[in-house]
């Protein structure tokens, strides 16, 4: 995100937030209610993995504003259902203005669902969680400059997923996935979510 590197910034309600969160209402809702909160279940992890892959090269706001379109297009991100998508479904997706009509990303999503459908229940969540870093001690990052884009853990996660056949996931996408799923907490030290909001 291109927000200037700084500490928390007051939103329209006066609450201090990570600077990127005050850029729009969509960002603010995502920041306050989801980002950094734990998710559970393979389908939920598949959704976050897919959306982070679609975000590659784009603004995250582009994904947020199409999220319901993505959910409708990809059967609520139920792995078993997406794994059964046919060539007709693929053509439907390529014509769907409610999502990002990127052929490579759509093909990767369908291929990933077919791979993940062969895994044991809970295996995707366990694999991703196995790469979670040790929780950092202290109050958290003081500015965006202290928030990494890639870590050793995200490199290892991306490598592990690729080795097992999951496509379109690199170290940056893997770290964004960790942030989105609450495996790391990168809310700034003075952000209200970190300091006062009830956490999952």
Q: Which residues are annotated as a binding site for Zn(2+)?
A: 18, 31, 187, 191
Q: Which of 20, 27, 60, 175 is an active site residue?
A: 60
30 catalytic? Reply is yes
Look up residue 144 and give its DSSP letter: G
CB-based contact 94:101 (threshold 8 Å): yes
68 catalytic? Reply is no
Q: What would the two tokens of residue 19 be?
A: 């600077």
Q: Which of 20, 30, 35, 175 is an active site residue?
A: 30
The residue count for the chain: 200
Question: CA separation (Å) from 90 to 93, 143, 190?
Answer: 5, 42, 45
33 catalytic? Reply is no
* Alpha helical stretches, state H, 36-190: 42-55, 60-64, 67-73, 79-82, 87-94, 103-116, 123-130, 152-163, 171-180
Q: Which of 47, 52, 125, 153 is an active site residue?
A: 52
Q: Which residues are catalytic?
A: 30, 52, 60
């Amino acid at each position: 995100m291109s927000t200037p590197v700084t500490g928390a910034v007051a939103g329209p309600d006066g609450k201090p937030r990570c600077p990127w969160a005050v850029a729009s209402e969509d960002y603010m809702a995502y920041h306050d209610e989801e980002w950094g909160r734990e998710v559970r279940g393979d389908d939920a992890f598949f959704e976050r993995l897919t959306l982070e892959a679609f975000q590659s090269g784009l603004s995250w706001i582009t994904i947020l504003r199409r999220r319901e379109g993505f959910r409708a297009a990809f059967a609520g991100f139920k792995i078993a259902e997406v794994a059964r998508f046919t060539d007709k479904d693929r053509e439907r997706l390529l014509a769907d203005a409610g999502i990002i009509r990127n052929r490579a990303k759509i093909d990767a999503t369908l291929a990933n669902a077919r791979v993940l459908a062969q895994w044991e229940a809970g295996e995707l969540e366990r694999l991703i969680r196995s790469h979670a870093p040790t929780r950092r001690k202290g109050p958290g990052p003081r500015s965006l400059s202290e928030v990494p884009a890639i870590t050793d853990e995200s490199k290892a996660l991306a490598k592990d997923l690729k080795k097992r056949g999951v496509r379109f996931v690199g170290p940056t996408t893997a770290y964004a996935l960790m942030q989105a799923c609450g495996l790391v907490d990168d809310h700034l030290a003075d952000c209200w979510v970190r300091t006062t909001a009830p956490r999952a």
